[in-house]
């Protein structure tokens, strides 16, 4: 249950970041068939699935892929199967969550 809550928090943060990126720069977007995008992340960047979440509308899925070298990619897939890279970077760190802690 803790993992699901953590994934939802990460997904919400990344979706907000995506909106900010879209507004800041309507630059070239890398999109394609999801299967081909996932293969490219695996083969070229050695990234594997780390987290997944479905949007509140149910029309898109956000996936986080990470590599052992700290690389990461946020991939958003629409219901028709088209996937777009929403963000990518390095220095990915998994943080321990304590959902039982009272604040």
Q: Indicate whether 101 belongs to any domain.
A: no
Q: Does residue 99 sit within a domain? A: no
96 found inside a domain: no
- Whether residue 102 lies inside any domain: the answer is no
Q: Is the pTM of this model over 0.75?
A: no
What is the total count of domains within the chain?
A: 1
Instruction: Say whether pLDDT at 24 is over 60.
Output: no
What is the per-residue pLDDT across 11-21, written as a single tens digit (0 to 9) for each? Answer: 556 666 566 56
Structure tokens at 76: 């958003």
- Is 58 domain-assigned? yes
Q: What's the domain range around 29?
A: 2-89
Residue whose C-alpha is closest to residue 51's, from 86, 1, 6? 6
Tokens read off for 18? 């995506």
Q: Residues 86-96: pLDDT tens digits?
A: 999 999 988 88
């Amino acid at each position: 249950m803790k993992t699901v809550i953590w994934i939802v928090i990460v997904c919400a943060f990344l979706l907000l970041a995506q909106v900010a990126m879209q507004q800041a720069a309507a630059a070239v977007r890398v999109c394609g068939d999801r299967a081909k995008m996932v293969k490219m992340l695996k083969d070229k960047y050695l990234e594997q699935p780390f987290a997944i979440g479905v949007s509140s509308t149910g029309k898109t899925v956000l996936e986080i892929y990470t590599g052992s070298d700290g690389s990461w990619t946020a991939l958003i897939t629409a219901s028709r199967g088209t996937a777009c890279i929403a963000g990518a970077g390095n220095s990915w760190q998994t943080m321990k969550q304590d959902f039982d802690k009272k604040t």
